[in-house]
Amino acid sequence: MARTPQDPNIRINEILDAADYLFFTQGYHATTISDIAKKMGVAQGMLYYYFKSKEDVLETLLDRHVSSLISEIKNIICLTKTPPEKIALAIASVLHKASYKDGLLLNMLYDTQNLHLKVQLFRQIELALSPWLLKIIDDGILNQNFCVSHSPTAVDYILVIVDFLSEALYQKTSADIFSFRLRMAEALIEKALGMQENTIHILL
């Protein structure tokens, strides 16, 4: 009886799951394609059928995390929450993803050999997030939660703040200092959106 072909997407996700585990437990640089194959119990050549290199595996793994993040943001859009609450939840989702597995993603991205991937990924996140943040802000303007003269600029400003907080996570900033930076970020976002003080609360 002929064997049913493996769905390529299922196999790709199996590879990404194994790589994700190994990158976390033994580090990205210490992990080889051979290690991933052994973890899966398959021939090394099978991995090369789907991926050209370990860096290709990493790029696809990062793409999967971005897709997961955007799905979370879309779900937030649909919640029966106020626009300020949605902004806070969206930022919290980004930071939760950044701190995934004790900062695994950030550690790999800030590695000097992977900085080109960091630039590429952050640009990808900005492009993917911008329309959803813009929708929340425009809804907030309609509901008179926000007073913004140019929504796209407000979105760009918020993304810079999120990048600043992500870098603090990568640097393993102490809880006290990170809390201070988070409170300052909330105040800056409130000013960018023309809100009253103490109306944005980002919970991590």
Q: CB neighbours of 14 closer than 8 A, spacing ≥ 6?
A: 40
At 168 the pLDDT is 82
Q: Which parts of the chain register pLDDT below 70?
A: 1-6, 100-118
At 113 the pLDDT is 66
Q: CB neighbours of 132 closer than 8 A, spacing ≥ 6?
A: 70, 73, 74, 77, 90
At 4 the pLDDT is 43
Q: From CA 44, how far away is CA 182, in angstroms rounded?
A: 45
At 183 the pLDDT is 95
Q: Which helix (H) or strand (E) holds 75?
A: helix 54-77
At 125 the pLDDT is 80
Q: Where are the domains of the chain?
A: 1-51, 54-192
Do residues 97 and 105 touch, judged by C-beta distance below 8 A? yes
Q: From CA 184, how far away is CA 31, in angstroms rounded?
A: 39
Amino acid letter, 89? L
User: For the whole model, what pTM was predicted?
Assistant: 0.81
Q: CB neighbours of 57 closer than 8 A, spacing ≥ 6?
A: 15, 16, 19, 33, 36, 47, 51
At 2 the pLDDT is 38
Nearest to 184 by CA among 146, 151, 168: 168
In CATH, the number for domain 1-51 is 1.10.10.60
Q: From CA 10, how far away is CA 44, in angstroms rounded?
A: 17
- For the chain, the distance separating the N- and C-terminal CA atoms, rounded to the nearest angstrom, is 53
DSSP 156-189: HHHHHHHHHHHHHHHTT--HHHHHHHHHHHHHHH
In CATH, the number for domain 54-192 is 1.10.357.10
Helix-helix angle 8-26:54-77, to 10 degrees: 100
- pLDDT tens digits along 141-170: 999 999 999 999 999 999 999 988 888 877
Q: Which residue's structure tokens are 């930022």?
A: 91
Do residues 85 and 147 touch, judged by C-beta distance below 8 A? no
